């Protein structure tokens, strides 16, 4: 069974309460539960991790080496400026798919850049929390796993 780690960055613990017109009304617990089941139906074990701290996210990336086959990650605001997270991803062999709930390209200028994207397989943006499923499927496909139920 493939093992994938879902990492959510800062403020995503407030999903459902935080700017619902942008991020929707589902909570992180809702998203994680749904995605864990979605993964399980495709023979994938999904573990979920969220942190508001850059160092904790870096540690989770390091610790994923040898433990996980892939990482699906919403780095949240760190996307736009964390060279440290980018370097952590570049320094492990675990592949990463980046996901953003909102369309970062139609929002404020500072959100248009991802310093993370160049060290990922690809980026899913702007389709709401549904993007987590697309990102997971992209990772499963990358790992040669089973895409349908």
Spatial CA neighbour of 117 closest among 145, 148, 86: 86
Provide the H-helix boundaries in the chain. Answer: 20-23, 28-40, 54-64, 83-90, 130-142
Residue of 45, 63, 111, 121 that binds ligand DQA (CB under 6 A):
111
- DSSP summary character for residue 101: S
11 binds ligand DQA (CB under 6 A): yes
16-28 in b/e form (b: 16+ CB < 10 A) is beeeeeebbebeb
Of 73 and 88, which CB lies nearer to ligand DQA in the complex structure?
73
Residue 83 bears catalytic tag: no
CB of 29 to ligand DQA, least distance (A): 16
CB of 81 to ligand DQA, least distance (A): 10
Residue of 50, 51, 74, 120 that binds ligand DQA (CB under 6 A):
74
Residue 100 bears catalytic tag: yes
Spatial CA neighbour of 64 closest among 122, 139, 6: 6
**What length does the chain have?**
149
102 binds ligand DQA (CB under 6 A): yes
Binding site residues, ligand DQA, CB under 6 A: 11, 74, 76-77, 79, 100-102, 104, 111
Positions marked catalytic? 23, 100
């Amino acid at each position: 069974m493939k093992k994938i780690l879902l990492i959510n960055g800062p403020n995503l613990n407030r999903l459902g309460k935080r700017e619902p017109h942008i991020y929707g009304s589902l909570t992180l617990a809702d998203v994680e539960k749904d995605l864990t089941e979605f993964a399980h139906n495709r023979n994938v074990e999904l573990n979920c991790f969220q942190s508001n701290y850059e160092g904790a996210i870096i540690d989770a990336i390091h610790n994923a080496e040898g433990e996980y086959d892939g990482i699906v990650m919403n780095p949240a605001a760190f996307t736009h400026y964390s060279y440290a997270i980018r370097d952590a991803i570049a320094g492990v062999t675990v592949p990463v798919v980046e996901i953003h709930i909102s369309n970062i390209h139609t929002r404020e200028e500072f959100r248009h850049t991802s310093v993370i994207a160049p060290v990922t397989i690809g980026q899913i943006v702007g389709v709401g929390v549904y993007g987590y499923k697309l990102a997971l499927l992209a990772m499963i496909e990358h790992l040669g796993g089973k895409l349908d139920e």
